[in-house]
Structure 1
């Protein structure tokens, strides 16, 4: 499979009469864009705001991030979810780089929603403060979700995907500024030189714990809870086969933008044919019952061994219960003779002194830490809040609280906040953006 991603590097975003891209300037017709958003009758209020790095803006509750793109030759940006099924990862896609569509609730937040600061101390905690963002601020009539801590955010998430597709379509007739090419030959038909290098596979464990549909990550529109581990071409992940779900404390979450730009996959492509033979992706899942966890680990190990993998990287989306899947997978791979490195965050408590993962094993002796989800973060008031700041405390965001016996409310009267890293939107960036690590004392 050969995927060409044609890039257009966005220098600025403005509103104007026509949605178009010219010389680094992305112009958006606001009314046309909002008409696309309002195609879902459940959207009751919607507005678009442009925010840029350095703006004195705080966004909360943030629900999703998507890179605007256009699939050359037609077809949905996210096959099986926003349109008919088709093969992702083989062909040409055009992408607006350096920007994203952010979806923010105008009022209601929940366990899986997060916060982004575009400037100041808080900006360092999330990759999305570095992007120029088209912010969809919207509300829905989904009354169930207003009263539930755990939300599916369906109308808002799908509106964000439609918006990203609409904006990306302005590239349809343009020639990209540069092109990234991702190509791997069939595993059994690699060159002598490639086959002479260490064989490496990456195992991804997207969030899939919820047994009720509508919460989990999707693969070609299919709920990952219904999957068994599956061998995938890495191009599929980069080209819209995977969609972020609406479950998991927010700092641990992988947004759709993360899947589209998965840094660790791109790094393995860079090393392919030089230092490694990149075999591909084993897309696993995260389960609830112990038997399900063990079954997935066995599938992953068998698949890696059958592919001839010498080494593996395992990345989990989440922590807590998923740690059991993560460690079981590493142990099964090591038992199969596959040297394995894990990528994860930790939950070591506010003092950093608790056990970092729910379960551990001596064979999991090479783990890259992306930081502690329970770190306390104190941030001053921000000049502008997009969304509703009180949602951080009122609606059970995983890193916020209404009142704490010692710390008081998460949201102070002057607009300053105290919260756990848990509520930073995709803050731990296990996919490969992260600059965080652990300190040993």
Structure 2
């Protein structure tokens, strides 16, 4: 399977008469773009607002992040979700690097939504402060969800996907500034030199704790709550087969932007044939029922050992109850003779002294921490707010509480509320320091 990413590097975004790209400048016809958004009759209000790195801007409640792209050969965008169900991972996809569609609630937020600062001390907590963001600020008539802590955000998230594809199509007929090729030979047909290297598999545990459809991550449009661990080609993930869900305290979320830019997969690709033999991805899930947790862990072990994996990397989306799935998966892999490293955030309390994970085991002896969800973050006022700042305190955003937004617009909150700040796919720039 061969996938080409044709990259165009966006340095500036402006509104103009025609949606186009030239010399690093992405121009968007705002009214035409909003027509794409309003294709869903449930969208009652919508606007596009630009947020650039360094702007004195705070964005909240942020619900989803999507990279503007378009398929120019060999497939469709978001297969099984906004388009027909076909295989992802081959052909060429054109990508507007450095840009991002952020889906933002005009008023109402929820447990799974977060905050982004484009400058100041908050900017260092999330990679999205480094991107040129097209903020889709909108509201819907989904009245049943407005005051619910858990929201599916269906109309807004789907509008974000349509908008990202609309914008991406402006480079469909252009020659990319850079082409990156992702290609892996079939597992059983690799050269003797590659076969001699340590074989590594990547296990991605998607958030899937909600039994009702509409909240969980989607795999080719299929609710991940209803799946068993499945072996996938890494190109499928890099080409849009996975759509982020709408359930998870926000710092722990893996956005759709992060799935297609999964840095762990990209690093494994770079090492393939040099230091390791990258077998592929075992797509797993995170459950609530203990039997389901055990079943998934056993399937991951069976797939990894059947593939002949010497090592594995397990990445968890979330914390708390999912920690049991995470640790059980690592233990089963270790019991199967597969040396395993985990990637996860922690919930160690505001003072950092609590047990980091709900479940622990001596065999889980190599874990990369991506941060503490309970860390207190204090942010000064921002002159401009995109969305509604009060949503952080009013609507049950994880990391926010009544009184966390001060009269002057300053904020005290937990890291939980910082949008995708923990970057468990590897798309982060935090470091650990031992004192």
Q: Which runs of 5+ in 1 are unaligned?
A: 403-408
Cα distance in structure 2, aligned partners of 1:70 and 1:176: 12
Q: CA shift at 1:381, angstroms?
A: 0.2
Tell me the equivalent position of 1:141: 141
Tell me the equivalent position of 1:271: 271
Cα distance in structure 2, aligned partners of 1:101 and 1:381: 24
Query: Does the CA-based 8 Å contact 2:74-2:91 persist in structure 1?
Result: no
Query: Does the CA-based 8 Å contact 1:75-1:83 persist in structure 2?
Result: no
Query: Does the CA-based 8 Å contact 1:369-1:436 persist in structure 2?
Result: no
Cα distance in structure 2, aligned partners of 1:218 and 1:187: 26
Within the alignment, does 1:426 sit opposite 2:414 as a pair? no
Tell me the equivalent position of 1:195: 195
Cα distance in structure 1, aligned partners of 2:179 and 2:208: 33
Counterpart mapping for 1:236-315 below 5 A: 236-315=236-315
Query: Does the CA-based 8 Å contact 2:203-2:313 persist in structure 1?
Result: yes
Cα distance in structure 1, aligned partners of 2:44 and 2:433: 47
Tell me the equivalent position of 2:359: 359
Counterpart mapping for 1:346-425 below 5 A: 346-402=346-402, 409-425=403-419
Query: Does the CA-based 8 Å contact 1:75-1:84 persist in structure 2?
Result: no
Cα distance in structure 1, aligned partners of 2:187 and 2:248: 34
Query: Does the CA-based 8 Å contact 2:127-2:421 persist in structure 1?
Result: yes
- Report the 3-state secondary structure (helix = DSSP H, G, I; strand = E; otherwise coil) of the residue aligned with 1:34: helix
- Report the 3-state secondary structure (helix = DSSP H, G, I; strand = E; otherwise coil) of the residue aligned with 1:355: coil
Query: Does the CA-based 8 Å contact 1:203-1:312 persist in structure 2?
Result: yes
Q: CA shift at 1:435, angstroms?
A: 2.7
Tell me the equivalent position of 2:63: 63
- Report the 3-state secondary structure (helix = DSSP H, G, I; strand = E; otherwise coil) of the residue aligned with 1:8: strand
Query: Does the CA-based 8 Å contact 1:252-1:426 persist in structure 2?
Result: yes
- Report the 3-state secondary structure (helix = DSSP H, G, I; strand = E; otherwise coil) of the residue aligned with 2:285: coil
Cα distance in structure 2, aligned partners of 1:50 and 1:61: 15
Cα distance in structure 1, aligned partners of 2:73 and 2:193: 34
Q: CA shift at 1:75, angstroms?
A: 5.0
Tell me the equivalent position of 1:131: 131
TM-score (norm 1): 0.98
Aligned residue pairs: how many?
435
Query: Does the CA-based 8 Å contact 1:76-1:84 persist in structure 2?
Result: yes
Query: Does the CA-based 8 Å contact 1:343-1:367 persist in structure 2?
Result: yes
Query: Does the CA-based 8 Å contact 2:75-2:88 persist in structure 1?
Result: no
Cα distance in structure 2, aligned partners of 1:247 and 1:75: 28
Q: CA shift at 1:76, angstroms?
A: 3.2
Cα distance in structure 2, aligned partners of 1:344 and 1:437: 13
Tell me the equivalent position of 1:333: 333
Q: CA shift at 1:127, angstroms?
A: 0.6
